Amino acid sequence: MTPAVRALKEAQAAFEVRLYRYEDRGGTAVAARELDVDEHAVIKTLVFETDARTPLLVLMHGDREVSAKQLAGILGVKTVVPCPPASAERHTGYQVGGISPFGTRKKLPVYMERTLADCPKVWINAGKRGQLAEMTPAEIVRILEPALVDAAV
């Protein structure tokens, strides 16, 4: 059991673990194809850091990118950049391709693209490559209390 699944169970989340055949560098497109779901509802968990090297998580639609410029403006910082893989793994305790916002090594601020809340169901990483949690966005909001942002391009 991954720390993410453990954290979801401890939070009494309503979720279902969904497994799929992971492909290196396949991203959310492969997960969506393998689970036969819309990539727009598959959530990417991205690790960014500010110019002050403060790490944070961004939850984004699988078929969208994060505008670092918009995100920096929202946060009131000069810049935000994606963390290098080794830093992302150190901050979260998860391997890139299997990063979940649940059960991270240290508590990180979470920012969620506002329109994810409009999806009836979403699929989000459950702590390892090839394993997603199917749940409602409301459960994510309840558990993580993310700041809702408009940073998609």
pLDDT at 116: 98
Domain boundaries, the chain: 3-149
What pLDDT shows up at residue 153? 93
Share of the chain above pLDDT 90, in %: 99
Residue 2's alpha-carbon distances to 79, 92, 94, 101, 129, in angstroms, are 32, 12, 9, 12, 11
Express each pLDDT in 96-121 by its tens digit: 999 999 999 999 999 999 999 999 99
CATH of 3-149, one of 3.20.20.140, 3.90.1170.30, 3.90.960.10, 2.10.109.10: 3.90.960.10
